[in-house]
Structure 1
Amino acid sequence: MSPSTTADLSTYLSERMRTTPPSGIRRFFEIAATMDDVISLGIGEPDFVSPKPVIDAGIRSLEEGQTSYTSNAGLKELRELIVGDLNRLYGLQYDVDSEVLVTVGCSEAMQLAMLAILDPGDEILIPEPCFVSYGPTARFAGGKVVDVPTRVETNFQVTAADLEKRVTENTKAVFLGYPNNPTGAVLERDMLEEIAEFVIEHDLIVISDEIYDRLIYGDIKEKGHVSVPSIQGLRDRTILLGGFSKNFAMTGWRIGYACAPEPILRGMYKAHQYMVMSAPTVGQVGAVAAMKECQDDVEMMRQSYDERRRTIVDGLNTIGLPTFEPKGAFYAFPDITSTGLSSEEFAENLLHEQGVACVPGDAFGPSGAGYVRCSYATSLEQIEEALERMERFVKSL
């Protein structure tokens, strides 16, 4: 007997799915997609096409019939290149065969990390504002998310003292996402060294999302990005997440990776085997080409983002929206409290009245209330036009 056509099928959903809200990023862009003449400062995606050597390598691999699975761990050549790059940039050393896993984007690597280390009831400390998927991936694994607020007064860097206030006997891990989406904050070495002491004292694991590691600016660029596992005492306590989407403008190729001590990576590997078998072959071939031939492209794109960064931050400050200077990624996070509007009201009214799409700051956590996220991964001309429209909107208030 078939179920009634009038049955509420949503009742068949698991509790975790019923209680997980939709992404706070997507709603405004679904509205924007129905409108004309909208400038999007919302989607966190490079506006560059993937570098030509990447595209050529992908096409060639298909023409040569490379359409089968790779090994579960990913192409060995790609893993070797990832390990070599991390060693060159940050002095890190990982075993190619037992400590590196190629994944379907950084998103899969993140979910695997959560599945590998969290049991139901385990707590994970997640500084916020943060990327919208951090909390849900932890909850999907049965973990309990403990938000750790950050503030503009500390440049949106989480401190060891912030973490100490929220640690309990059930805390198992800390999640760090720097360079940060949505604030553009970067976690500097002195902060990280204090966090390392906290992590070691409480015997915790760190998951570090460093997907934007090459997109850093200003004095941080001169100092260099500090990779979490490069801090003394953290290498064997850290699951390092990275990928090709942001640095190499390869979002649609869906290639990420995780590096971790062998016992932890072995657990991630099991989940990966059952969930996806292996990352897309054509994407892995493209990533090999990116590592070998496209390092100059990364720097070219970084310099372009830097010019846009300065333009949008100066522009937002000029029109009366105080904006923290982002040191990484490609997001500005202006304070809109002076308008008297909530983040949601500001974003919605700006979209309908001036055709500029941005994301309410509280979509990224409670500390994002009073802010909006504006991506500068769009052309300078679009940014300048968006600033003019935003100025008109603010003046109209």
Structure 2
Amino acid sequence: MSVADRISPHVRAIPPSGIRKFFDYASGSANVISLGVGEPDFKTPEHIRQAGMRALSEGVTKYTPNAGLMELREEISNYMSCQFGLSYDPEGEILVTVGSSEAVDLALRMLIAPGDEILIPAPSYVAYSPITALHGGKVIEVESSVEQQFKLTADALNRVITSRSKVLILNYPSNPTGSVMSYEDWLPIAEVIKAHNLIVISDEIYAELTYDQRHISIASLPGMKERTIVLNGFSKAFSMTGWRVGYACGPQLLLAEMLKIHQYIAMCAPTVSQIAAIEALRHGMEEKDRMKEAFKERRTKFVKGLRELGLSCHEPEGTFYAFPSIARTGMSSEAFALKLLKEANVAVVPGHVFGTGGEGFIRCSFAASLDRLEAALERMARFVKLTVEV
């Protein structure tokens, strides 16, 4: 028996991240314009960086409580109440994590028993299905369509629910589609969830990046808060991706079980990052809003540009992603993305990596300067013209 045979079959079965693959391709050349990785191009605001540096210079580098600094949990509690109308006790209903990614893993690991069905609207963020598989759950994709702006519907959800269904993972605003759910959109979904006694994991990392309406958390609907774990973080709204600090809010009964896992695998989120996060919530709202306005301007110009070069694209109401159709080229999303990278030096992510309904689309991040977006569109226009003509 070889060393390779000792690797867990669960691990061996999951694919590498399709997003990171194209990021790695793009990082090998200075001439590539990357529209692949979902990361704001802005630096973390100066005062937030200064808060972190002060903590370092003062030697504030010890462990924090496992659940996170109480000062930060109190700020998160205030933020959730002011921004989204949700009330959480910082003592037992908020857990600070190593980015929202750890929060996703903790929530799924806490809930899944072997064979449980985890419902995931698709196309969806690439991490949900592999993490579900790693913990012995069965992924059930819930289809959505561009004709309905990739929104989840009660009919689609009802079609896949069985007696084994336990968890519904939500990600609105949606990565990769940019779709946003309104209060009216959520109402019939909430009734289905309650009727089938589902637990909801609601990944709301893009909650601050909605352009045409305010973000509505499904936890704010009647009867939903007690069955929903809301996940969020500082990476996207405050341009703090590398600081790795996120959080989970939810019923104390569930958060206590997540905390037990967190104690063993991470101990606590980075102390300096937690202090920087406190500063972000206390004094970072103006910069957050300025970054959002920049993304909104980029969205308008980039989506218009995609349509002008012949790629149909629904209007992303949130996030910083466009999800245009490449159907007219006759190519698969993987072939299109590879050819675009090699021949036009533009990196995008093929839609198929996001699951059912993603084939025939590509994800383009407009979290880049207007100059780079315009240059990318020029390259894409030449590429699409030649591809379609051939």
- TM-score of the pair, normalised by structure 2: 0.98
Q: Deviations over 1:268-304 (max 9, x none)?
A: 0100001111000000000000001110011000000
Q: Deviations over 1:306-341 (max 9, x none)?
A: 010011100000110000100001000000010011
Q: Deviations over 1:244-279 (max 9, x none)?
A: 000000000000000010111111010000111100
- Counterpart amino acid of 1:302? K
Q: Indicate which of 241, 256, 266 corresponds to 1:276.
A: 266
* Cα distance in structure 2, aligned partners of 1:201 and 1:32: 46
- Matches of residues 1-397 of structure 1 in structure 2 within 5 Å? 8-218=2-212, 220=213, 224-397=214-387
Question: Does the CA-based 8 Å contact 1:160-1:191 persist in structure 2?
Answer: no
How far apart are residue 229 of structure 1 and its match? 0.6
Q: Deviations over 1:139-174 (max 9, x none)?
A: 222211101111011110011111100000000011
- Counterpart amino acid of 2:254? I
* Cα distance in structure 2, aligned partners of 1:135 and 1:255: 22
* Cα distance in structure 1, aligned partners of 2:75 and 2:147: 39
Aligned counterpart, 1:4: none
How far apart are residue 31 of structure 1 and its match? 1.9
* Cα distance in structure 1, aligned partners of 2:187 and 2:338: 41
How far apart are residue 227 of structure 1 and its match? 1.0
How far apart are residue 35 of structure 1 and its match? 2.5
- Counterpart amino acid of 1:139? A
* Cα distance in structure 2, aligned partners of 1:247 and 1:14: 36
Q: Deviations over 1:231-254 (max 9, x none)?
A: 111000100000000000000000
- Counterpart amino acid of 2:121? P
* Cα distance in structure 2, aligned partners of 1:188 and 1:368: 23
How far apart are residue 10 of structure 1 and its match? 2.0
* Cα distance in structure 2, aligned partners of 1:106 and 1:314: 32
Could you list the structure 1 runs, at least 4 aligned residues long, displaced by more than 4 angstroms after superposition.
none
Residue identity (%) = 50
Task: Identify if the C-alpha distance between structure 1 residues 8 and 312 changes in structure 2 by more than 3 Å, giving closer, same or farther.
Answer: farther
How far apart are residue 33 of structure 1 and its match? 2.1
CA-based RMSD of the aligned residues comes to 0.8
- Counterpart amino acid of 1:212? Y
Question: Does the CA-based 8 Å contact 1:241-1:258 persist in structure 2?
Answer: yes
SS in 1 for 2:18: coil
- Counterpart amino acid of 2:311? L
How far apart are residue 366 of structure 1 and its match? 2.3
How far apart are residue 84 of structure 1 and its match? 0.4
SS in 1 for 2:200: strand
SS in 2 for 1:367: coil
- Counterpart amino acid of 1:298? K
- Counterpart amino acid of 2:322? A
How far apart are residue 9 of structure 1 and its match? 2.4
How far apart are residue 71 of structure 1 and its match? 0.3
- Counterpart amino acid of 1:133? A
SS in 2 for 1:111: helix
| Structure 1 unmatched ranges of 5 or more | 1-6
Greater CA drift, 131-140 or 300-309: 131-140
* Cα distance in structure 2, aligned partners of 1:49 and 1:82: 22
- TM-score of the pair, normalised by structure 1: 0.96
* Cα distance in structure 1, aligned partners of 2:376 and 2:81: 40
* Cα distance in structure 2, aligned partners of 1:8 and 1:340: 43
How far apart are residue 89 of structure 1 and its match? 1.2
Number of equivalent positions? 387
Question: Does the CA-based 8 Å contact 1:72-1:273 persist in structure 2?
Answer: yes
Question: Does the CA-based 8 Å contact 1:103-1:109 persist in structure 2?
Answer: yes
How far apart are residue 208 of structure 1 and its match? 0.1
- Counterpart amino acid of 1:132? V
* Cα distance in structure 1, aligned partners of 2:4 and 2:370: 44
